[in-house]
A = this chain, B = another copy of it.
Amino acid sequence: MKFQELLSESARAMRFSAIRRMSAVIERPGIISFAPGQPSPETFPVADFDRILKRAVAEEAAGAFQYILTRGYSPLLEAVADYARRKGMDSHPAERMLTEGSQQGLDLVSRVLIDPGDVVLCEAPSYVGALSAFRAARARMVSVQLDEQGLDLEDLRRQYRACRDAGHRVKFLYVVPNYQNPSGITHTLERRAGLLEVAHELDLLVVEDDPYGDVYFDQPPPPTLRSLDHDGRVLYLSSFSKILAPALRTAFVLGPETLLAKLEIAKQAADLCGSGLSHRVVLACLREGLIDAQKERIRPYYRDKCKAMLDALAREMPEGVSWTHPTGGLFVWLRLPEGRDAEALLEAAVAEGVAYVPGSPFFAEDDTGLNTMRLTFAREDVPKIEEGVRRLARAIRA
């Protein structure tokens, strides 16, 4: 059979992730890796999971293994509502749903909102998984400039108007205001307020993705856009993958009832429901206050590693190289001098024994950000971080 001919337009446009292609290159013994987009397993509360799993199975027996409602296990939905309320976000039951990781939330949002050719405004750079979901829905992705304070609000107005003038429908603005993957940037309170003003002015839906909000080093981040918003125009996504563990595949969406009703139907078609067992584990973690315990535990862990990376960068990097200074999350964003190509550099870096992710796939537009890269401090210990930065500097200098 000629399977190629059977493919949908969406499938034809699908590209194998550039990052995934590179993982074959960078998985080599002895390499110091700043590449993976993953929390450190050293932060996972394994002993707690062990105890909680044991108890869930003992108490609920077979009930823990049955199908659950599409929106998720009801007691967890209520506990999540409390958790969000403590971040200043109230919600009615009809305004919330659990998803299998935030990625599923992003995918469902794309399917419910995007027709081919519709515009999604994204930060430059933006989270590559979100770009994949928007691309699968055949969105037209348009970048808005990002600086260390947050979104460039004049550029937001400009890009919006250009889209509108070109006759395109702008469906929403997608932002990761806290410790963004890949840049590590956090929007200031002032920029958040400004963003909401512009969104009000342009009558723009805002999709706020917040997987890293609990992973701060010293102070919590400024309030979420959803907690600051008075218009009900913010759809908020968050996840327990970074503060608890990814294998729980538990995340949530809070948003306007009209959209949540559609997201529920879309989720039913996408996977019927999540895992009642995982939901019970996350519920126990919330009830026992384990999220707060995890915040305390994770804070010095990532703070020290990030500091080691920033200090090493300051010591080792040649003139003309710049980087962000995150106050939370897992990532530092590095910019080579204009004209350098981080993808071309990767081979030399791997030969030196260090790996990273070139920045270009994090931009909505092709051939953008060629001189950028994402570094994570999550995986390696402090001596390796220092050695890795030395190796990276050598590769850049060569």
Contacts and interface: CB of A to CB of B under 8 A. Distances in A.
Interface string A202-235: 0101000000000000000000000000011100
Contact of A258 (B4, B46, B107, B136): B4
Nearest to A54: B54
Interface string A1-26: 10110111111001111001000000
A245 B57 CA distance: 13
A136 B108 CA distance: 11
Most chain B CB within a 10 A radius of its CB, from A111, A205, A261 = A111
Contacts of A62: 41-42, 44, 46, 245
Nearest to A172: B6
A64 B266 CA distance: 29
Contacts of A10: 111-112, 115
A371 B169 CA distance: 45
A276 B247 contact: yes
Contacts of A17: 265, 268
Contacts of A392: none
A8 B232 CA distance: 20
Most chain B CB within a 10 A radius of its CB, from A14, A42, A205 = A14
Number of identical protomers: 2
Given A3-B256, A41-B63, A64-B247, A11 B272 contact: no
Given A10-B111, A65-B248, 10 more contacts: A1-B203, A1-B231, A6-B171, A6-B205, A17-B265, A42-B62, A44-B65, A66-B247, A103-B270, A129-B269
The 5 tightest CB contacts between A and B, nearest first, are A41-B62, A65-B245, A3-B258, A132-B269, A65-B247
Interface of A: 1, 3-4, 6-11, 14-17, 20, 38, 41-42, 44, 46, 49-50, 53-54, 57-58, 61-68, 70, 100-101, 103-104, 107, 111-115, 118, 129, 132-133, 135-137, 171-172, 203, 205, 231-233, 241, 245-249, 256, 258-259, 261-262, 265-266, 268-278
